Amino acid sequence: MNIPNSNPWFMSLNENPGQAIEDILLGKADLGMLSAANPEDILLDWLSAYSNDLDFEHTVDEGIATFIHKYYGNTSLTDVEGYAAAIWRRVCSVIENHTLPIATEMLRKKVKGSSEYLRNIYRGQICSPYNSAIKAIEK
């Protein structure tokens, strides 16, 4: 990656891409002076800003696919009420709003294999991660 950015998250992305992607999706990433209220928006902005850097895009795509593979169906994200739903809506938002073929295919595979996981972690139709996943994989 050839991204001239001194943001702490980019530094961690260079050192440990999988962990950096996981941290931003879980809302735990050090984003420097940027607000972490909606880390998916920050990630989408960076994907757009650095769209010419195919290594960056590919790293993010693979990282999100790895995250989906690791956490889909994993109950460790459901410790805090609503936390898992927010994380999965975040993942789906990134996939829906940017072309990430590896992550999209991984999400499609997981949802097709077991949609019950996402159906069981939402608090109402408006914030359904299952509905977000369907929108993301059907775009």
CA 12 from centre of chain: 16
Compute how many other C-beta atoms are within 10 angstroms of the C-beta atom of residue 6. Answer: 7
Is residue 93 in some structural domain? yes
> Which residue segment(s) compose the domain that 81 sits in?
8-137
Could you tell me if 137 and 107 are in contact, meaning their C-beta atoms sit under 8 angstroms apart?
Answer: yes
Question: In which residue are the tokens 């949609």 written?
Answer: 115
Please choose, from the candidates 3, 21, 120, the residue with its C-alpha nearest in 3D space to the C-alpha of residue 72. 120
Q: What pLDDT score does 36 carry?
A: 65
Is residue 3 in some structural domain? no
Predicted confidence band at 58 (pLDDT cuts at 50, 70, 90)? very high
Compute how many other C-beta atoms are within 10 angstroms of the C-beta atom of residue 74. Answer: 11
Report residue 30: phi and psi, to 5°. -80, 105
Is residue 89 in some structural domain? yes
Is residue 2 in some structural domain? no
Question: In which residue are the tokens 């530094």 written?
Answer: 11
Domains contained in the chain, number: 1
Tens of pLDDT, residues 69-92:
999 988 777 655 567 888 898 999
